[in-house]
Amino acid sequence: MKILVTGAKGFIGKNLIAELKNRNDNDIFEYDRDTDPSLLDEFCKEADFVFHLAGVNRPKEQSEFMEGNFGFTSELLNLLKKHNNTCPVMISSSIQAELDNPYGESKKAGEDLIFAYGKETGSKVLVYRFPNVFGKWSRPNYNSAVATFCQNVAHDLPIKVNDPSVVMNLVYIDDVVNELINALSGEQDKEDSFCEVPIVHTITLGEIVDLIYSFKKTREDRSVPNMSDAFTKKLYSTYLSYLPENQFSYDLKMNVDQRGSFTEFIKTPDRGQVSVNISKPGITKGNHWHHTKNEKFLVVSGKGVIRFRKIDSEEVIEYFVSGDKMEVVDIPTGYTHNIENLGDAEMVTIMWANESFDPEKPDTYYLEV
């Protein structure tokens, strides 16, 4: 399929084109403000589907709103009519079209124009009134407040929030792209009316800011956000895309002694903690048991043995483990246990515990296996 995307270098356009290219079965005509204008005529002649994403939202002069959001739409539709091309046309509008301001008026004019075009030509037209869209590749201080906040917090710059109680309606860029792919596939059937936008998240400006600052803090306390919350998951992915390129990595505190080291990697509020344990040759660690805390051990390098003994029994149970075989060993409650390095090199074990370590309530009792 031959697909024309206007506004190809814009926020939505870049994300959409990236996904279209993943599919390998499309010819994509990319048109943006720096594209040779003569190419638009050829694109409109050949296109099987048009994603009209080009628009103006922060011009130097207010007159540019109508020129960009209405004038260019008119030019695009006239070229399609010139070539009798009645392919489907999708247009990106905004909830601002309901408001009495220059930007909203220009968007409303574009909507009216394309609805009239659909009635005149019989072409399928799809009009989306998107609320605030957020996600990777959104320009700070241009596309959205979310982009600006993520950029500033990630770069240790101040942010300004006049009213944290302001309610925001947002859609995530991947949800938008998925919806547009559905439209391309013919799964969006609405014509002569507004198409339903994808999942809308409603949240206050203050809550957004608090979340973004909490993302920054996760590096300090080795935590991860609540990924079961859809908006938090999407916002965290967005925030990470604004990290300075020389700050993708961060250090962890290694607790080192003569036996090796123990390093906390990730803590979660409800899914426990992941740590990395390194044991030197011949070293045994552990010899303790727990009431409620349980763990999973995975040796990823080296070889050793994990021993268990129920605290009221003399029987010792052994599990021999090695990085040559990825095998998880559960550490049940009520069993004292240890792990010994049987090899000539350091043994590396990934350890998960069902709760983050609390020095006030360690639930750990020394007892030799």
Question: Tens digits of per-residue pLDDT, 53-107?
Answer: 986 444 444 544 445 456 788 899 999 999 999 999 999 876 766 766 655 667 7
Condensed to tens digits (0 to 9), the pLDDT of residues 98-139 reads: 766 655 667 778 788 889 999 999 999 998 888 899 999 999
Instruction: For the chain, give the mean pLDDT.
Output: 91
Quick one: average pLDDT of 318-341?
A: 98
**pTM, 2 dp:** 0.89
Q: Which CATH class is domain 254-366?
A: mainly beta
- Residue 352 DSSP label: E
The active-site residue, picked from 31, 103, 236, 335, is: 103
Q: Give residue 188's pLDDT.
A: 63
Whole-number pLDDT of residue 193? 64
Break the chain into its structural domains and give their ranges. 2-209, 254-366
- Count of alpha carbons within 13 Å of 28, Cβ hemisphere only? 23
C-alpha 102: how far from chain center: 33
Q: Give residues with Cβ within 8 angstroms of 245, minimum separation 6.
A: none
Distance (Å, rounded) from C-alpha 282 to C-alpha 305? 11
193 Cβ partners below 8 Å, 6+ apart?
A: 127
Active site residue 319: no
Close Cβ partners of 43 (under 8 Å, ≥ 6 residues apart): 4, 29, 31
Long-range Cβ pairs for the range 157-163 (8 Å, 24+)? 159/209, 161/205, 161/206, 161/209, 163/205
Per residue in 284-329, pLDDT (tens digit) is 999 999 999 999 999 999 999 999 999 999 999 999 999 999 999 9
pLDDT value, residue 238: 98
CA distance 192 to 89: 12
Q: 2-209 and 254-366: same fold?
A: no
CATH of the domain spanning 2-209: 3.40.50.720
Confidence of residue 195 (pLDDT cuts 50, 70, 90): confident
**Eight-state DSSP code of residue 234:** H
